[in-house]
Amino acid sequence: MKKTLVYPANHPSPRGAYSPGLLVEHDGSSTLYVTGQLAVDRDGKVVAPFDATAQTEFVFQLIGSILEAAGMGFRDVVKVQTFLTHMPDFERFSAIRNRYFADSRPVSTLIEVKGLAREGCCVEIEVVAIR
């Protein structure tokens, strides 16, 4: 089994001992585990504080860059886990999410949480992809 840390060039630096993605290759297949992504830019600033629509789009772009760095795309995503701080944002989040997964339809979980790791962030998304 081979493990490769995935760090896209445009991605913000992690604030701890973790990587944005971990690609695990075993027996001819690859599984990519993507850490929960927040709407934080390369300078560490929260993008569009408390704006679930803008943050959801930004987070999916971050996820896309991690998938691409691992040689994958949204079609390879099999599981999505989402954390929202305000459930009424679900409709706006869902409309964006559905654009990215219209063809692949991964299994999904959505959980409302009291808060996220960065003040002003209201959406966190993690995915698992297999190729």
Q: What is the pLDDT of residues 52-98, one digit of tens each?
A: 999 999 999 999 999 999 999 999 999 999 999 999 999 999 999 99
Give yes or no for a contact between 34 and 24, defined as CB atoms under 8 angstroms apart.
Answer: no
Q: Which domain holds residue 123?
A: 2-130
What does pTM read for this prediction?
A: 0.95
The structural domain count of the chain equals: 1
The pair phi, psi for residue 99, each rounded to 5°, is -65, -40
- The pLDDT tens digits of the residues spanning 35-47 come to 999 999 998 999 9
DSSP category for residue 20: S
Q: What is the CATH number of the domain that holds 79?
A: 3.30.1330.40
